[in-house]
Structure 1
Amino acid sequence: MASPQAELFAPETPPGLGPRGNIFVGTCSWTDVSLIKSGGFYPRGCSSAEARLRYYASCFPVVEVDSSYFAMPVPENAALWVERTPAAFQFNIKAFRVLTGHQTPPSAFPPDLQPLLPPLKARQKNHYYDDLSAELRDELWRRFAEAIAPLRHSAKLRAVHFQFAPWVAASADWIAHVEQCVQRLAGHRLAVEFRNQTWFAPERAERTLAWQRELGVAHVVVDEPQGVGNYAQGVWAVTDPALAVVRLHGRNEATWNAKGLTASSERFNYEYRDEELRDIAERSARLAEEVFALQVLVNVNYEDQGVRAARQLQALLQTLPSA
């Protein structure tokens, strides 16, 4: 049986970046409205979904699919993504929002499942995982696995990204839920991102990392504003020898916890400075020494800030001395 490391990439995978050639840089989404409207990345005439993905895949070796967070994905789309990208291209796909503890409006569920949702209470607009019947949960997990199967079968699915809600704390109930997620997607690699500071408080950080290693999930290093609201600490560590993920949310303290924003691009509106990106590149290179492959995914998505930061990181990683 092939090792997890050997299965991580197709045979055609080209060398990555960094001293060990194992760092892969990309962005979180290639279809963000703000990016497309900016005109700063896609060439003129590159206006169809197919053309945009093909162009993106000519610039970066990996992308995170975020549309699967907002609505249940379908296998037909995943099959198209496989067809439109090179053999070695990598996808991470975000878990559907109700599976990660987020509030989920009825309209986000598949239309044929919406009649099975429980009635909403007065002034309640969203459903949560615990509200759903066991049968409906089973069906959602089944459909999610079915939807990402084309990516998995093509060896292009690197990780299912679980970005848990900010209120998902290090409590017994949520620990059990995370473990259930791993069980539900047995055979898939999970990348786990916590957004609640209880997971990596000084007195708990090592215990959380040891638990992630036991579960066999890839730890996600977050870069985001520190000390603002219920922030996630950036812990640079490896829990899965095959894969680690660094995810850059920007450092915009003014908008991070702001209410009433009209689009997520406002929250992630941040221009990384040269010295910040150089520090991230150097930290990434050091972390890559401990893991088979490291992904660095840029999640700032105001206009073309994300792709520009990703390209700059690519350039910086090429300048670092070889191991």
Structure 2
Amino acid sequence: MGDILVGTASWTDRTLLDSGWYPQTADTPEKRLVYYARQFPLVEVDATYYSPPAERTARLWAERTPAGFTFNVKAFSLLTGHPTRVGALYKDLRPDTEKKNLYPDDLPPQAYEEVWTRFLSALDPLVEAGKLGAVLFQFPPWFTIKRENKQYLLEVAKRCAPLRPVVEFRHASWFAGDNAEETLGFLRRHELPFVCVDMPQGHKSSVPPVLAATAADLAVVRFHGHSDKWTSKDIHEKFGYDYSDRELRDWAPKLRELAGEAERTHVLMNNCYRDHAQRNGARLREFLDAD
């Protein structure tokens, strides 16, 4: 069985800071990251989805964490086709527009290429420190199963090489009927790691909890919770789910089985409201270690 790393999708969420999970002595961003890294070996950086990271920031992350610590970094929204605030773009690349949000086609090709270059190069300090695990490409609900989108997945892999992109879908078409076999087969042929998810079902954005390793080196599972307010625009309502011990205990053997198919398995709790993700992650690790 390959290594299983358990972590959370945030260490800076406002409600987490208010929850009391951090000791009073962890009263600066540096001290909080140091404390977090003593509790978990893995973290996912989601802030990079909203605004591309600076290389200096990535260097500080690397310096403030111990050897062997792993960061997964979420891709900037423009690179996954999500609407992107004009103000989130690099200042010198912002177009003169009255639009509030931009998409890739709203930028000149040269500017779009530059966004890719700067985003990936900003991760260099993590790469040099051996602390970059994967780059998460979570695609929007309108990214459906079709040839054009499959080609974009291959483009992402080519652009990121030798970094490791991992792919998360948010549209049911990828796993509807026979499409499940087609989707997993495509990812396996191109050795693209599939991000398994646990999330609410019954929505257009719902993907079933399919556990599959589509690359030999890495498998990823993200736990989004089962909030009955999944369509809420309030992210704390959407992800504010507290897993029970029974749910986590039931997941442990499934995760161990998945870990038998890959060298490493990353498990991320994305139910980021107060300390739910941290408590659930620690509890899940206990169940994984029990056997």
TM over 0.5: yes
Residue of structure 1 in register with 2:266 after alignment: 295
- Checking the alignment, whether the CA contact within 8 Å between 2:2 and 2:261 is kept in structure 1 is no
Q: Which residue of 2 aligns with 1:99?
A: 79
Counterpart residue number, 2:115? 140
On the 8 A contact 1:24/1:61 being kept in 2, the answer is: yes
Equivalent in 34, 38, 61 of residue 58 of structure 1:
38
- Look up the match of 2:97: 119
Number of the residue aligned with 2:58: 78
**Aligned equivalents of 2:109, 2:48: Cα separation in 1:** 22
What amino acid is aligned across from residue 51 of structure 1 in structure 2? K
Task: Give yes or no for the alignment of 1:25 onto 2:6.
Answer: yes
Alignment length (residue pairs): 291
Tell me the CA shift for residue 118 of structure 1: 5.7
- Aligned match for 2:27, one of 47, 72, 86: 47
Q: Deviations over 1:249-302 (max 9, x none)?
A: 0011x21012x42xx122101011111111111110111111111111000011
Taking the aligned partners of 1:158 and 1:23, their CA distance within structure 2 comes to 13
Q: SS in structure 2 opposite 1:236?
A: coil
- State the alpha-carbon separation in 2 of the partners of residues 91 and 266 from structure 1: 26
Cα distance between partner residues in 1 of 2:216 and 2:206: 26
* CA displacement at 1:125 relative to structure 2: 2.7
How far apart, CA to CA, are the structure 1 residues paired with 2:146 and 2:97? 28
Aligned to 1:256: 230
SS in 2 for 1:46: coil
Corresponding position of 1:316: 287
2:175 corresponds to which residue? 200
Matched, 1:269 2:240: yes
Of 281-290 and 211-220, more deviation after overlay is shown by: 211-220
Preserved contact between residue 225 and residue 270 of structure 2 (Cα < 8 Å): yes
What's the TM-score, normalizing by structure 1?
0.87
What letter corresponds to residue 7 of structure 2 in structure 1? G
| Equivalent pair of 2:2/2:265 in contact (CA under 8 Å) | no
Deviation at 1:119, TM superposition (A): 2.7
RMSD over aligned CA atoms reads 1.3
Tell me if the contact between 1:72 and 1:96 (Cα under 8 Å) persists in the aligned partners.
yes
User: 1:23·1:296 contact (CA, 8 Å) conserved in 2?
Assistant: yes
Amino acid at match of 1:298: M
TM-superposed CA distance for 1:137, in Å, is 1.1
C-alpha deviation, 1:77, in angstroms: 0.6
Q: After superposing the two structures, state which structure 1 stretch, 211-220 or 288-297, moved more.
A: 211-220
Could you list the runs of 5+ residues in structure 2 that have no partner in the other structure?
none
Q: In 2, are the aligned partners of 1:118 and 1:131 still within 8 Å (CA)? A: no
Counterpart check, 1:226 vs 2:226: no
Counterpart Cα distance in 2 of 1:130 and 1:285: 42
Could you tell me which residue of structure 2 aligns to residue 38 of structure 1? 19
Q: What do residues 170-203 of structure 1 show as CA deviations (whole Å, max 9, x unaligned)?
A: 1222222222111111211111101111111121
What is the deviation of 1:59? 0.4
Q: Check the 8 A contact 1:64/1:94 in 2, yes or no.
A: yes
CA-CA distance at 1:21 after TM superposition = 6.3
1:113 and 1:133 map into 2 onto residues whose CA distance is 9
TM-score scaled by structure 2?
Answer: 0.96
State how far apart, in whole Å, the 2-side matches of 1:179 and 1:212 are: 9
Pick the aligned partner of 2:252 from 281, 284, 298: 281
Which of 207, 212, 216 is the equivalent residue of 2:187? 212
Check whether the contact 2:141–2:204 (CA below 8 A) recurs between aligned residues: no
SS of 1:225's equivalent in the other structure is: coil
Determine helix, strand or coil for the equivalent of 2:173. Answer: coil
Q: Is the 8 A contact 1:25 1:297 kept in 2?
A: yes
* 1:229–1:257 contact (8 Å) kept in structure 2: no
Q: Tell me, yes or no, if structure 1 residue 171 matches structure 2 residue 149.
A: no
Task: Report the AA paired with residue 154 of structure 1.
Answer: A
